[in-house]
Amino acid sequence: MPIVLYRIDERLIHGQVVLGWGSQVTPGRYIVVDDELAQSEWEQDLYRLGAGGVDAVFVSVEDARRRIQEWRGGPDRSVVLTRNIDSMLRLARGGLLEGAKVNVGGLHHSPDRTEVLTYLHLTHEDRANLRALAEEGAIVTAQDLPDSHRVDLQTLLGS
């Protein structure tokens, strides 16, 4: 089955993903692409508790790049999650996500970020990385929940 959702959300597996998106896309697996989390089994266990009985795997960006074709052709409907834009961009390099729809979900307030949407705050680097992600062929939009208004990249970047 295909990868049914690519999502950037700093909270990774949480209520909006499991209940909101999960009820719409019915995944059989969450694939969390995060270099640090891929090395921390106790943190992985915490995220698995929130996955609502859906399988969750944790891999580095490089491992995900090697396995993405396998997941696209595998039997499980999968949701790919990254904590930040940089990780999704690294996954996409070389056109690996060409034509894929990438959803930017929750990137919240911090001192170096400015509000773009209530659930989306970006740094200058984040904006550059979103542009680069689109240049790699990904279709980038922001949407916190499936029934919410989808915001295109040009609107996000103010262009």
Residue 89 neighbours by CB under 8 Å, 6+ apart: 129, 132, 133, 136
Q: What is the pLDDT of residue 62?
A: 98
Indicate the pTM of the whole model.
Answer: 0.94
Integer CA distances (angstroms), 22 to 13, 18, 49, 53, 146, in order = 10, 5, 15, 11, 10
Q: What is the pLDDT of residue 159?
A: 61
Could you tell me the residue range of the domain that residue 125 belongs to?
3-157
Alpha helices in 19-140 (DSSP H): 22-25, 41-49, 61-73, 85-92, 124-135
Q: What is the pLDDT of residue 63?
A: 98
Q: What is the pLDDT of residue 15?
A: 84
Q: Which residue is listed with tokens 């698995």?
A: 48
Average pLDDT of adjacent 10-residue blocks, the chain of 159 residues: 90 89 91 97 94 94 96 92 97 96 90 88 94 97 93 87
Identify any residues that bridge with 82 across adjacent strands, giving them in sequence order: 8, 33
Q: What is the pLDDT of residue 16?
A: 86
Q: What is the pLDDT of residue 111?
A: 85
Integer CA distances (angstroms), 49 to 2, 37, 87, 119, in order = 24, 15, 23, 24
Q: Give the chain's domain count.
A: 1
The enclosing domain of 91 has a CATH number of 3.40.35.10
Q: What is the pLDDT of residue 1?
A: 53
